[in-house]
Every structure is written in structure tokens, then in C-alpha cells.
Amino acid sequence: MDIKKYFDDITKEFIEELTKVKTYEELSVVRIKYLSKKGVVPMLMLKIKEVSDKKSFGEAYNKIKNFVELTLNEKQKVYETEKLKQELEKEKIDISLPGSSLKRGMMNPYYKIIREIEDIFVGMGYQVEDGPEVENDKFNFELLNIPSDHPARDMQDSLYIDSNILLRTHTSPVQARVMQKAKGKPIKVICPGKVYRRDDDDMTHSHQFGQVEGLVIDKNINMANLKATLELFIKSMFGEKREIRLRSSYFPFTEPSVEVDISCINCGGKGCSMCKNTGWIEILGAGMVNPKVLTMNGYDADEYSGFAFGIGIERVAMLRYGIDDIRRIYQNDIRFLSNFNKICED
Amino acid sequence: MLVSLNEIKKYVDISDLTPEDIANKLTFAGIEVENITHQAFGTNLVIGEVLSCQNHPESDHLHICKVDVKDEILDIVCGAPNVRKGLKVIVAKVGAKLPKIEIKQAMIKGMTSNGMLCSLLELGVDSKFLKEEQIKGIEELPIDAPVGEKDVLKYLGLDDTILDLSLLANRSDCYALENVAREIGALFNRKVNIPEVKNDATYTDNNFKVGSETVNCPSFAIKIVKGIEIKESPKWLKNVLNSMGIRSINNIVDLGNYIMLRTGRPLHIYDLDLIKNDLTVKDNLNLKFKALDSKEYQINEGDLVVTTNNEAVCLGGILGGKNSEVNASTKNIAIECAVFNHAQIRKTCSRLGVSSDSSLRFNKGVDENITDYVLNLTTNILKEISPIKEISNIISFNKIKPIDTKLIMKKDYINNRLGTDFDFEVIKDTLEKLSFKVDVDNDLVTVIPPSYRKDIKDKADLSEEVIRYLGLDHIKSSLPTMKTTVGKLHQFEDKKRIIEDYLLNRGLNEVLTYTLVSKKEIEESAIFTKNQPYEISNPIVEDHKFTRTMILPSIIKCAVYNYNHQQTNFGLFEISKLNILNKEAEEHLSLVLFGKQFKQDLLGFANYSYFDAKGILENILNFFNVQESRIKIERINEDNTYLHPYRSAKMFIDNKLFAYFGELHPLKAKELGINKESIVVLEADLSLLYKTKTKNNKFEPISIYPVSYRDYAFIADSTFEFGKLKTELKRTSHYIKDVHVFDIFSPINLDDKFKSIAIRVSIDGKDHTLKDSEITEVDTKIREALKNVMKVELRK
């Protein structure tokens, strides 16, 4: 018996049958015919009894078996792919429908500014401190060189609980508290918080607003140190291009005292309505700590010196985002807050 | 403080400086100029004479005038009722610019008009300085006015420019024109000429006695002048007062005001014939006092009162008395120049709700050392503006001891403080220009400030003087060189930020509301908290009278505001410190979930519920690693009308109250005007959480053995609580890892109060794979517990 021819005939027959296959089901019929237990290919093995060269027979058998299996598998894969494609098509969706997003909430700009300020100064090695909002007269005024009959008290009309206790009118009392705690050691702190004044609420005034107090004390601290620190802060907050300038001013707890202006955010210094054509915008107050304040709070004013500054949080927010009315910050209209969502994710 | 530059010119030459130059320099030196205004304004003006004046044929009020302006004769149509032939007038020629208009050639009802005849109002003079006829008609110039004069504003005495100084508390010396002149002189390096005054006493008065019975009036001096005449002030005096915002009354009153503006020392002038032979200051009186403004004031102990023969004649430093007022028939006067304590003046003013130019200056503190100068200056000028018969010597009481402020510093002190490198000679020169006396002894420098600079008390003040004079732009930038420190947030700030970020990422908006609230919010908060508020003793409005004890009422208001502005589905939260009476401040978190929330399915929304608030709390506790076993939950008082009594709870950590949360009571929602939308709220005391001690996060190995699950379904009545079931089941075997509910429904065939509940119990052998027998044992225990302890009926 010519095994080779016999096997070739079967192969030819298989190929012929396969070419006639049109569907996955027909393919299954062919598979069963050739590869099932009693199928054409396994049955070939019975012929081994009839040949002498069993080795060659074995090789030829394996060859035809592998060929049939491989060919069927390939063909099956094609059908399967086709079938899956049809199923997936049934799951087709409208890709233009909105995404099922859970939107991120929006932060009131007040908090965003506090966080930014904190992060800038923490990066410069400052500690963030905290102090009480209900203060006594001693810390809010006296220890800051504002005795009870000082004319500077006219500047701050305060909300009193009783003759001695009031809502702090500035974050400066934390200066005194920090100094007393540090007991004559160097200090480098900022303190953000709410402060209160006896003001009617209008576009630019609010009976409640936020401040960030800064205080640095060490030997040999001077005004050039203050200027550099504020420059660094302003450039971090408002961009590299911002310049600062100092104007002489007065606060009882600093001497010299200065107002700090920044080159206008809107026009860059050329002059516009925002800066009233001056090219500059007032941004914060600062100065060298008054030696009397150092002495009252346990520092040797001949050995130590320091600087302090106070930043208005809403003021910064209003300039940064061009907010026209401070009351909007306390109104919390969601449509207002949504302005700050993008920057939040920066 | 309004400053007339024409007045300044009398003391220092500023003719080559613009008002802007001066304003700029003052501002940078710490004396802020808020505003520059011109008293009157107009270009292309000339003085003219009306040659003829005829009625306009086609108008009932217009006149056709020929006006001689020396170089030419102009045809001008004028509507003023007082225009007439022969009148000297102010003419604005074609091309003139006035504050509100520009003059052009015009045809008025067929007649050409080449200019306009002006009123002072049209030149921008404030109407408060004008009489009615000056407002209604054109200005009538004196008959001797020079026709053709082009510098009309100067002729009128209205060519002044006014600087409005916004003075800070340290520079009260600049409430005196003379001191502003000194400052400008120093800043521009010019000589300042303040004329000397003469002692012009014509007799020595031995009868009149002055004195003070209180330390709050340490100095009281008068000068008596006899034979004066009350009349209109001369033009120069009127002009000075007008330009600095004070109305002219008569020569004597005006003089008092002028001296105050010039020297910073307020005067009071009495009609000598209406007082007795003494003036004594007292502060122990209780009486009613009728002041110049015809109002009656209650004087209490402490208020400074000038008395004559025990009768009050002046509320010292604030208001004069009606009974001794200078009037049209006054012939003899006593001029008072005293020092009243600033704190007492402020106290009295704020109690009585009055203030005056005089009290303002006392308030800020006056230069006590110039009393004699001021009184002599007053009489020197009085002689020019009134006839005089006799002038007395200065009769004075004075307990003020001169204070010699002497400041000693090292030569390098100022440079060290400023971080500058000025030559010492420059520093010395600067201080001297500012009228400080400087003595140098080797390395030590002694500086004596001028008497009017009461703000200079310490050597640090000298550093400010130097740098404000030389310019703050001399300060370079150089970061401090300190020991390196690690920057740190406040101890709880890290924790706060974790919660903030979680809520933001969950879609809630972070809001900021006011600390101060009304009584209503405090009463609402009292439903939940025993914490008491601080009460403001001097609130601005009743709405801001108390420090809040909870954030919730504020944040609900905020939600209602947004709802009323067409926002429907949203979440809000706030984290804020609360100031609590007699207790440490607490930091609270409060939130509102309003309406519906987005669910995972496409376009699907579901109402916010109790479980959303609870889920948030559970998540937060999980961040802080607070074990479930430490948390307890209880229903809140059923009688409350704030939260839904059956859909709300309070949560405890270690038996300490941590939070209230739940759905808003329908009655409360209705009160807020919300009918349909669901509102879920929460308030938690974060300070309690911050302080709660928890285990550190440590890696726990993941079990390599499989977990088995068993499901149970049962019917339970309305008393059933899942929390109790969970505790009970966990108690039956330590292999039980967790218990979940995966279905709750009310079968149709059962009463409403019964529910079908399905749970899944996870069973974990932890260190070995559970054998079937072990699982069966756990299963049996679970079934027994369900039946015997929980009393529920297992479904088949």
C-alpha cells in the first residue's frame, strides 16, 4: 500500500472539503469528521498494522494530523473574529453623550490663597503658627506698643466682648504670643487667620477678613532682608515680572514702617484704571519690629532685631482674580466659585 | 488735613515745583497725599466791563451785551438775571476751558456769542462757599477791578491748589501748616521762614486768674484783648479758610481757626464781658451744658470743663458754651490756648458723639511747648484785622515739665538696621535738615528731635527718619542668613488638608461664611450643642452679634442662597475654628448635600440621603485610622424639629460626641422655602478627631488562604438593626471577617413593617484553609444566632 499517496489523497480531500465551508457551523462538521475520536485522522492510525516502516508512517501521520489541526484552527479563528465583531457592533453607543464625570468641588479663593501663601513660606523654612481669634487687650494692643491712650487705636475700631476682651483686629497679636513662647530664640513664622473690625460691609470693607502675619527675629536682621523676603513672596505669588517698591508708613509695632506696592498686575506698570494710572498697587504693610515690642516680649533689643509683615488675604485674592467686591467671597455663589476650579487643578 | 499751597508759599519757596512733585515726595516720605484739587479752574479768562446790555428780541431772559476786555470788544449773549451795563465781569473767551465746559463761538437765537460771562460756580468753586445770588447769577466784580486783567483766578484769590493729606497717627504734627512747610522745606532742601512773633502786651493783668484742678489739663493760658470790633474778615483770611475747607464767620472766629490751622494749637475765644475774672478747668462736674451749636450735652465726671465762678463756659478742647460766645456786639475777648489730655478728649467725644477740628487735634496730641508763641502770634495778627485798645500779657497756669528727648546711638546703628551703607555725614546732614540736633562724640551720636516731633522717642525712629528722607529705594534686597530651619505647617493643618481634599474630590465646594451670627442661629445651634457663644458688646448689626457655636446654620443659609439662584444639585462644606465661651476653640466641619447626586449609570441621579453623610464620616474616620469598635452611633432626640427624627444620628468616638448628621426635618426645609429637594447635613468636631490617638499605619500581610462566603436571607420586623446583627454575628466566631448587606426589600405578600434582608458573611481562616467541618460549624452558629438572638426567620 502506498501510504504516501493514501495520505496525500486524504489531505487533498480535506482541503477540497474545507474550501466548500461557508459558516462556523459547517466548519464544526468538518472538524468532527476529521478530528473526532472516530474521525478520519485518528482512524488512519489503524493502518499502521499494514506497514513495515512504522517510523515513516508515524512521521507522515503526525504531519497530516498537525496540518489538519492547524488549518482548522486558523479557519476557526477567522470565523470567531467575525462573530465577535458582529456581537460588538450590537453594543454600539453614542459616543457624543456626556461622560459620567464626578466633578471636583471648588475651593473658595480665600482658602486657595492661604494655602499658596503657606506653601511659599513653608518652602522658605517658615513655621505656620496659630493664635486665638478672641484676644485680650494686652496681646491685641499693649504688647504691640499700642497703649490704651495711643492715637493709633483710632485706626482700628474694634468689636469688644467686654472692656478687656475683643475679637482680634489683626493677626499681629500672634507676634507677641510667638515671641513669648520662643523665649529669646530666633523666630521665623507666619500666621494666617481671621480678623475682625467694626466696619460696615461694602465693596472694599468687610467686618471679617483674613490676614497672614509674618515675623522673623534673629541677630542682625535688617530692612534689606525684609525687602528680599517680600520680593520673593510677591514673585512667587504674582509672577516673576512683578516688582515691588516701598513707601514710608506708620504702624506702632514696626519702625521703620512701610507700605509695599507691586507693579500693576493688569498693565504691568504702564498705568491703567486698576492702578489709578500710577502703575503700582498697594498690597501689604511691613516694617522692622519696634524695639519696644521686642523688649516687652522678652528679647534684648540691642542684640536682636526682626521684621514683620501683614498680608490681606482677600486683597491678594481680589487682585489675583480681578474680583470687584469683597462681599462675593463671603456670598459663596457656586457660579462665582466655579471661576476658580481650573486654577485649583493647576 | 487740607493744605493750601498758597499758604505754604508764605513760608518756603516752592515756585518751581508742581503740586504733583510735592505730593509725590510727601507720599513717599510717609505723609500720603490722597488728592490734589484746584480751588477754581479756568483758562483764557479775562476781566471785562459790560459796555451795553440789551434784551434779546426773541427771548424773555437773554441779553445781548458788548463787553470791553481791553484788547477788543466782544459780543456776548448772556442769560444771567444780574447782567447790566457798567458791571465788571469775568469773561471766558472763545477757547476757554472751564471745569465742566469748553467755550466755543455760538449762535444763540440768531445772535453770535463770542464767549461767556461766568459765575464762580462755573469756575468750579464749591457752592458751600457761595451766597445764593452768586449761584444764581454771574459774579459781580468790584468797580475797581482792572479791565483786561488775564490772571483772573489770582485776582479773585482762587488760584490756590489744595493737597489733601491722609495723616497717620505718628505725624499729628502735620495738622499744622507751619510743620507741613517745615517738612516740605526739609524734603526739598529749602530754607523755611516762619516769622518771629513779638510780645505785644500793652498792660499786665493782675486780676484775671486761670487754673486747672485736673491732671488732664496740665497747661491753660489766656491773653486778654480789649476794644476789638467784630466785622467781616479781610479777603486773605477768608481765602485761607475757604481753601482749607472752613467757612468764614467773622474776623475773630476766623482768626481762631486760622491760628489752629497754622500752628496746630486749637484756641477758644470768650466774650470777656460774659465771663467772670477767672477760668478754671474742672473734671468733677455733673451738669447739662448748652454748647455753641445750641444743643444741650450731659457732662459727666471726667469730662474737662472750663468754668468761670463755677459756671461751665466751655467743654474743654471740644465745644464752646453758648453763654460766653463771641457775638456781634463783643468788644473784649479772652483768648484761650490750653493743653487737654488726648485720651480724655477722645472718651468725651465718643460718648457724646461730637467732634470738631479742635477735638481732632487734641485727640492726636498737640505741641505743648509753643503756647506763648501761639498766643503772641494770635494778637500780632489780630491787630491787623481789628482795631484794638489793649492787649494783656499771657496769663498762664502750667504744670508741664519740658521733656528733653535725647537719643543716643552708635554711628553704625542706622546702617545696620536698614541694611544700607550711607556715609555717616549723609545721615547727620539728613537729621539736621529735619531740624534734629546731632552731636557726635567718637562712636556715639546724641540726637535731639524738635519739640513738635512728639513721635520720635527711640533711636529706631531715627532710622525711619533717615530712610524716608533719603528714599526707600536705597534699600537693597538681601535674604536673611539664618540657621536653616525646616518649614512646617501648623500641627493640625496637614490633617485638615486631607479632609478638605477628600471632600473637594468628592465634588463638594468649600465655602467661607461669617463668624458672627444672629441670636436665631445661636438658638438653632443650641439644639445640638451646649457650647456657649461670645456676645459682642458693641455689634454693628444684630445679625452679627454672637460668635457662632456651629457652622451648620450659616452653611444652610449658603445652600438656600444658591438654591434661590437656580442651583439645584450641589454639596457645600466649610471647616472653621469656632470661638466658644470659656472653652478652648474647636475646629468644626460642616456640610450640606443638596438635591440629587450623580450615580454611576449613564444620566442617572439619586437623592442624597442619610447614608451619604454617614459614608463621608466613615471615610474620614478611616483616613485617621479610627477603629470601627471605637465608634458608636445613636439616634438623636425625636422631638427636635431640625433633623428628620428617624433619618439622623449622632456619632461618638470613644464615647465622646463627634458628629451630628442626617436628613433635614421636613418642617425645617419648609421654613427655608424648600419643598421637594432632599437636604442632608452634617457637623463634626474635628478637634476631637485631631486629638484622638490612633495606631500608626503598618503593613499587614495579605492572607494567602482563600476566604469563604455564606449568604443568608431572612424576614425581619422594623425593630431590626443591622449594626446589632453585625456585632452579634462577629461574636459567634473569630473566623467571621465581615458581614455585608446586599439586599433589602419589602415583599408584596408581607406587611409594610416587615422586610426581607439578605446578608453575606465572609469567613477567613487567616492562617490556614478552612476545612468543610469548620465552615459548617460557623454556619450553624450563624443560623443559631439569627434565630435565637436576632429572632429573625430564615427564608427557605
Predicted local distance difference test score (pLDDT) of residue A344: 38
Nearest CA in chain B to A149: B343
Predicted local distance difference test score (pLDDT) of residue A346: 35
Q: What is the DSSP string of B664-686?
A: EPHHHHHHTT--SS-EEEEEEEH
Query: Stretch B494-522: mean pLDDT, rounded?
Result: 95
* Number of continuous H segments (helices) and E segments (strands) in chain A: 13, 9
Which residues on A lie below 8 Å from B579 (Cβ)? 132-134
Query: Stretch B55-66: mean pLDDT, rounded?
Result: 89
User: Rounded CA gap, B512 and A110, in Å?
Assistant: 8
Nearest one of A260, A284, A283, A263 to A272, comparing CA atoms: A263
User: Rounded CA gap, A27 and A83, in Å?
Assistant: 14
> Please, are residues A128 and A121 in contact by the beta-carbon 8 Å criterion?
yes
- Type of residue numbered B86: G
CA angle B153, B158, B162 (to 5 degrees): 130
Q: What does each C-alpha distance from B80 to B41, B85, B116, B153 come to in angstroms?
A: 20, 13, 10, 21
User: Rounded CA gap, B141 and B153, in Å?
Assistant: 12
User: Rounded CA gap, B660 and B613, in Å?
Assistant: 10
The three cell numbers of residue B38 are 484746584
Instruction: Tell me which of A165, A223, A257, A277 to substitute to probe the interface with B (most B C-beta atoms closer than 10 Å).
Output: A223
Query: Stretch B346-362: mean pLDDT, rounded?
Result: 91
> Please, are residues A312 and A193 in contact by the beta-carbon 8 Å criterion?
no
Bridge-based pairing state of the strands B605-607 and B596-598: antiparallel
B582 touches chain A (CB under 8 A): no
Helix H or strand E encompassing B501: helix B493-505
- Show the domains of chain B with their CATH numbers: 2-34+163-187 (3.30.56), 45-156 (2.40.50.140), 209-398 (3.50.40.10), 407-473 (3.30.56.10), 493-691 (3.30.930.10), 707-794 (3.30.70.380)
Biggest distance spanned by C-alpha atoms of chain A: 130
Contact yes or no for A100 and B602 at CB 8 A: yes
The CB-side HSE value for B258 (13 A sphere, CA atoms) comes to: 26
A130, A188, A194 ranked by CB distance to B485: nearest: A188
Distance of CA B611 to the CA centre of its chain: 45
B419, B459, B511 ranked by CB distance to A225: nearest: B419
Predicted local distance difference test score (pLDDT) of residue A160: 92
Q: How confident is the model at residue B499 (pLDDT cuts 50, 70, 90)?
A: very high
> Please, are residues B100 and B64 in contact by the beta-carbon 8 Å criterion?
no
A210-214, B459-463, B511-515, B742-746: which has the minimum mean pLDDT?
Answer: B742-746
Which residues on A lie below 8 Å from B602 (Cβ)? 97, 100
Instruction: Tell me which of A156, A196, A334, A346 to substitute to probe the interface with B (most B C-beta atoms closer than 10 Å).
Output: A334
Nearest CA in chain A to B601: A100
The three cell numbers of residue B433 are 535738615
Nearest one of A292, A258, A293 to A177, comparing CA atoms: A293
HEC profile of B91-130? EEECCCECCCCECCCEEECCEEECEEECCCHHHCCCHHHC
B421 touches chain A (CB under 8 A): no
Query: What digits encode the pLDDT tens for the residues B88-126?
Result: 999 999 999 998 889 999 888 888 899 999 999 999 888
CA dihedral B297, B299, B303, B308 (to 10 degrees): 100
User: Rounded CA gap, A135 and A146, in Å?
Assistant: 14
- Show the domains of chain A with their CATH numbers: 3-90 (no CATH), 109-344 (3.30.930.10)
CA angle A111, A115, A117 (to 5 degrees): 115
- Type of residue numbered B129: F
Biggest distance spanned by C-alpha atoms of chain B: 131
Whether the bond into B701 is cis, omega within 30 of 0:
no
A141-145, A338-342, B157-161, B500-504: which has the minimum mean pLDDT?
Answer: A338-342
> Please, are residues A312 and A211 in contact by the beta-carbon 8 Å criterion?
yes
Residue B314 has pLDDT above 70, yes or no: yes
The three cell numbers of residue B1 are 488735613
B729 touches chain A (CB under 8 A): no
For A52, residues 6+ apart whose C-beta sits below 8 A from its C-beta are none
Determine the distance in angstroms separating the CA of B590 from the nearest CA of chain A, rounded to an integer. 15
Q: How confident is the model at residue B176 (pLDDT cuts 50, 70, 90)?
A: very high
Query: What digits encode the pLDDT tens for the residues B696-707?
Result: 777 877 888 889
Query: What digits encode the pLDDT tens for the residues B603-658?
Result: 677 889 999 999 999 999 998 989 888 999 999 888 888 999 999 999 999 999 99
User: Rounded CA gap, B92 and B115, in Å?
Assistant: 6
Distance of CA A337 to the CA centre of its chain: 16
Q: What does each C-alpha distance from A1 to A5, A49, A51, A57 come to in angstroms?
A: 9, 12, 8, 12
Q: What does each C-alpha distance from B353 to A198, B209, B346, B374 come to in angstroms?
A: 16, 32, 10, 29
B485, B536, B567 ranked by CB distance to A334: nearest: B567
User: Rounded CA gap, B389 and B392, in Å?
Assistant: 10
For A108, residues 6+ apart whose C-beta sits below 8 A from its C-beta are A329, A332, A337, A340, B509, B510, B511, B512
Query: Stretch B744-764: mean pLDDT, rounded?
Result: 84
Bridge-based pairing state of the strands A187-196 and A127-128: parallel
User: Rounded CA gap, B167 and B775, in Å?
Assistant: 87
Contact yes or no for B488 and A102 at CB 8 A: no
A122, A196, A228 ranked by CB distance to B478: nearest: A228
Sign of CA dihedral B316, B321, B324, B327: positive
Query: What digits encode the pLDDT tens for the residues B99-109?
Result: 888 999 988 88
B750 touches chain A (CB under 8 A): no
CA angle A132, A137, A139 (to 5 degrees): 55
> Please, are residues B666 and B673 in contact by the beta-carbon 8 Å criterion?
no
Q: What is the DSSP string of B15-41?
A: TTS-HHHHHHHHHHTT-EEEEEEESS-
Query: Stretch B742-759: mean pLDDT, rounded?
Result: 82
Per-residue pLDDT of chain A (346 residues; tens, 9 = 90+): 677 788 888 889 999 998 998 888 899 999 999 989 888 888 888 888 888 888 888 888 888 899 999 999 999 999 899 889 999 999 998 888 877 777 889 999 999 999 999 999 999 999 999 999 999 999 999 999 988 777 667 555 899 999 889 999 999 999 999 999 998 899 999 999 999 999 899 998 999 999 999 999 999 999 999 999 999 999 999 989 899 999 999 999 999 999 999 998 888 888 888 888 888 988 999 999 999 999 999 999 999 999 999 999 999 999 888 899 999 999 999 999 988 866 533 3
Contact yes or no for B467 and A124 at CB 8 A: no
The three cell numbers of residue B635 are 439616634
Q: What's the start-to-end Cα distance of chain B, in Å? A: 94
Which residues on B lie below 8 Å from A257 (Cβ)? 30, 464
Query: What digits encode the pLDDT tens for the residues B416-435?
Result: 999 999 999 999 999 999 99
> Please, are residues B544 and B517 in contact by the beta-carbon 8 Å criterion?
yes
Contact yes or no for A257 and B464 at CB 8 A: yes
Sole residue written with cell 461618638: B652
Nearest CA in chain B to A217: B482
Other Cβ atoms less than 10 A from the Cβ of B148: the count is: 13
Q: What does each C-alpha distance from B744 to A83, B717, B788 come to in angstroms?
A: 40, 12, 21
Nearest CA in chain B to A219: B482
The three cell numbers of residue B314 are 466751655
Other Cβ atoms less than 10 A from the Cβ of B742: the count is: 10
> Please, are residues B499 and A193 in contact by the beta-carbon 8 Å criterion?
no
Which residues on A lie below 8 Å from B355 (Cβ)? none
For B772, residues 6+ apart whose C-beta sits below 8 A from its C-beta are none
Predicted local distance difference test score (pLDDT) of residue B743: 87
A287-291, B6-10, B400-404, B624-628: which has the minimum mean pLDDT?
Answer: B400-404
> Please, are residues A250 and B30 in contact by the beta-carbon 8 Å criterion?
yes
Residue B322 DSSP class:
G
Question: In terms of DSSP H, where are the helices of A196-326?
Answer: 223-238, 291-296, 313-321
The three cell numbers of residue B578 are 469656632
> Please, are residues B574 and B512 in contact by the beta-carbon 8 Å criterion?
yes
- Type of residue numbered A124: M
Helix H or strand E encompassing B225: strand B219-226
Q: How confident is the model at residue B186 (pLDDT cuts 50, 70, 90)?
A: very high
Which residues on B lie below 8 Å from A334 (Cβ)? 509, 562, 567, 570
User: Rounded CA gap, A168 and A277, in Å?
Assistant: 35
User: Rounded CA gap, B411 and B444, in Å?
Assistant: 6
